[in-house]
């Protein structure tokens, strides 16, 4: 039974083609595992050059050119690799294409990928047909100036790659047989839209946590999966192949239920308006999942602002999936324009420095923590709902900073630390209880919430109080079980040497040591009795 295809393809006006579970699916069950239809480098912010083979960022020390076509590469191995050598390199050689093309900023690598897509017409009918079944969202794109300008620049680059054959004699054309191909303007615009809607970007990080390469892939089956801000499945790159994509369930999915993932998991703990704008800009769609259409986001009030005209009310969007919707107080019925909401949010985000740098590699200092706590005390309940995503982002920064110096905190500070952890976990449990990225987030918090137990216990013992060793032992065993689960999830997405994996594994060693200490203390206490 388990060997049968786990999904079925269906069609609806809302999703177009989409996937549902063909049978009852268990947690962490593989739904899809597939190689890309096409792949190539992304266009990095700042116009950073990438190798056309491995897609590594090219530094001054690493930058080189293909000896045959003179386009950017990192070395001989990528020059000889089929991804470049069997594709655009032959075209560039045959047409004597010079580097750089007319446009490089923001569109160079997309132009290369579209050229690779066009080459599929001659090399793989199956892959070409798969591409042509994908959504392009061009009804929306044709009204967006940035898309129109980008497509015009891509077309100019392709004319540079594939110049007209007019004026050449037959012998010259025969010599350039490998470079001869034509393209249709509308076809290119369609491919550009397909890339915008369906491409998966994979940043590869080095040992210091910095991105060293950035790849773009398009997957046929995965392109059919719907998006949700409360996903029941998640995707990860297969570590062995680095190009194969694996979709797994996060929770049990019943037969006939929609299979959904988060296209971008980086903003799932932000409010709806904060998630909506990037989706409209980059994904060119508006999410209408159960969470997004609920003004309270499942009762968390993650986006709610305090009403300034009544003592108990909070402002909530009347239509959360419309970024220009009015907001209304749930107590006094006051109505405000969206521009007021955006102004308040932007000012409060700037005040605390959002979006924040990578909390894993660059935690805040103890001096920062003092200011962050003052921020929460000032704005939680007065300007923002205590659960507001800005407040919780600040709480997360406080937790991350203090976890390195728990032994230096007083009992009141430790109690405050635990309360912040508990608040973050409560909200996460409601919004994304089983999302794979959240398991990492939850694993860190759960460790940080329980790590102070040993310090609290020690301080209590010194004060002469009796400590419930069995209670502490049970909590540590629970956290070890959770962390073991977290590492399993992380290893599906990250290498064993990843800072994320190493951090959780290190905290597991601490928890194991605490369990040993508590077991010895418990045993000693029992023998004394």
Q: Which fold has domain 7-35+219-263?
A: Beta-clip-like (2.170.270)
Give the pLDDT confidence score for residue 451 in this predicted structure.
62
Q: What is the mean pLDDT of the chain?
A: 83
- Tens of pLDDT, residue by residue over 161-173, are 998 644 444 444 4
Among 11, 74, 31, 462, CA closest to 249: 31
Q: Is 475 helix (H, G, I), strand (E, B) or coil?
A: helix
Per-residue pLDDT tens over the stretch 371-421 = 999 999 999 999 999 999 999 999 988 888 887 676 677 778 877 887 888
Question: What's the pLDDT at 156?
Answer: 96
Distances (CA, A) of 425 to 178, 300, 341: 59, 12, 27
> pLDDT tier at 484 (50, 70, 90 boundaries)?
confident
pLDDT tens for 28-71 read: 899 999 999 999 999 877 778 899 999 988 876 667 899 999 99
pLDDT for 465:
38
pLDDT surpassing 70 at residue 256: yes
Indicate whether 442 pLDDT > 90.
no
Count of alpha carbons within 13 angstroms of residue 74, beta-carbon side: 18
pLDDT of residue 444: 61
pLDDT for the residue numbered 173: 46
SS3 305: strand
pTM (2 d.p.): 0.80
* CB within 8 Å of 68: residues ≥ 6 apart: 79, 85, 89, 92, 93
Task: Point out which residues pair with 17 in neighbouring strands.
Answer: 11
* Mean predicted confidence (pLDDT) in 288-315: 96
Nearest to 386 by CA among 397, 375, 402: 375
Peptide bond into 100 cis (omega under 30): yes
Distance, CA of 288 to CA of 156 (rounded, Å):
37
Q: How far is CA 407 from CA 138, 179, 355, in A?
A: 57, 67, 29
Please state, for a pLDDT cut of 70, what percent of the chain lies above it.
80
The DSSP code sequence of 508-529 is HHHHHHHHHHHHHHHHHHHHH-
| Domain residue extents for the chain | 7-35+219-263, 38-198, 266-402, 432-529
Q: What is the tens place of the pLDDT at every residue in 168-196? A: 444 444 444 445 567 899 999 999 999 99
pLDDT at 132 over 90: yes
DSSP string, 409-468: --HHHHHHHHHHHHHHHHHHHHH-TT-HHHHHHHHHHHHHHHTHHHHHHHHHHHTT----
User: 320-349: per-residue pLDDT in tens?
Assistant: 999 899 999 999 999 999 999 999 999 999
- Banded pLDDT at 247 (limits 50, 70, 90): very high
The half-sphere exposure of 480 on its side-chain side, counting CA atoms within 13 A, is 15
Q: Tally helices (H) and strands (E) across the chain.
A: 19, 16
């Amino acid at each position: 039974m388990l060997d049968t295809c786990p999904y079925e393809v269906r069609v609806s006006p809302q999703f177009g083609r989409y996937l549902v579970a063909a049978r009852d699916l268990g947690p962490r069950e593989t739904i899809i595992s597939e190689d890309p239809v096409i792949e190539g480098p992304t266009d990095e912010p700042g116009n950073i050059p990438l190798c056309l083979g491995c897609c590594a960022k090219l530094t001054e020390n690493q930058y080189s050119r293909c000896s045959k076509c003179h386009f950017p590469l990192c070395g001989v191995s990528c020059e000889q690799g089929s991804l470049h050598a069997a594709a655009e390199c032959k075209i560039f050689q045959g047409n004597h294409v010079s580097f750089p093309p007319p446009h490089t900023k923001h569109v160079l690598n997309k132009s290369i990928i579209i050229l690779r897509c066009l080459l599929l017409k001659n090399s793989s009918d199956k892959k070409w047909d798969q591409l042509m079944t994908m959504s392009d969202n061009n009804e929306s794109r044709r009204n967006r100036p940035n898309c129109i300008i980008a497509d015009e620049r891509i077309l100019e680059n392709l004319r540079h790659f594939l110049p007209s054959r007019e004026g050449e004699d037959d012998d010259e054309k025969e010599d350039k047989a490998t470079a001869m191909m034509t393209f249709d303007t509308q076809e290119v615009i369609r491919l550009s839209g397909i890339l915008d809607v369906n491409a998966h970007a994979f940043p590869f990080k080095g040992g210091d946590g910095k991105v060293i390469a950035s790849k773009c892939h398009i997957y046929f089956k995965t392109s059919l999966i719907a998006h949700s801000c409360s996903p029941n499945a998640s995707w990860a790159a297969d570590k062995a192949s680095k190009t194969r994509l694996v979709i797994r369930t996060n929770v049990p999915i019943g037969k006939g239920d929609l299979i959904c993932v988060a296209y971008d998991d980086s903003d799932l703990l932000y409010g709806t308006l904060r998630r909506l704008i990037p989706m409209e800009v980059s994904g060119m769609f508006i999410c209408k999942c159960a969470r997004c259409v609920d003004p309270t986001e499942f009762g968390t009030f993650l986006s709610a602002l305090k009403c300034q005209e009544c003592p108990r009310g909070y402002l909530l969007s009347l239509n959360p999936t419309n970024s220009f919707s009015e907001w209304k107080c749930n107590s006094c019925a006051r109505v405000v324009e969206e521009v007021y909401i955006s102004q308040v949010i932007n000012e409060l985000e700037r005040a605390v420095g959002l979006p924040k740098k990578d909390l894993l590699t660059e935690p805040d200092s103890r001096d920062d923590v003092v200011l962050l706590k003052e921020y929460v005390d000032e704005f939680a309940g007065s300007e923002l709902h205590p659960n507001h995503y800005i407040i919780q982002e600040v709480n997360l920064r406080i937790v991350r900073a203090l976890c390195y110096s728990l032994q230096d905190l007083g009992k009141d500070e430790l109690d405050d630390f635990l309360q912040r952890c508990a608040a973050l976990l409560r909200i996460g449990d409601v919004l994304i209880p089983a999302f794979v990225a959240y398991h990492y987030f939850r694993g860190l918090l759960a460790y940080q919430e329980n790590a102070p137990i040993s310090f609290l216990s020690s301080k209590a013992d010194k004060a002469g109080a009796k400590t419930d060793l069995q209670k502490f032992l049970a909590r540590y065993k629970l956290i070890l079980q959770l962390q073991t689960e977290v590492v399993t999830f992380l290893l599906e997405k990250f290498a064993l040497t990843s800072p994320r994996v190493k951090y959780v594994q290190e905290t597991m060693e601490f928890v194991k040591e605490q369990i040993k200490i508590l077991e010895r203390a418990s045993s000693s206490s029992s023998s004394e009795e």
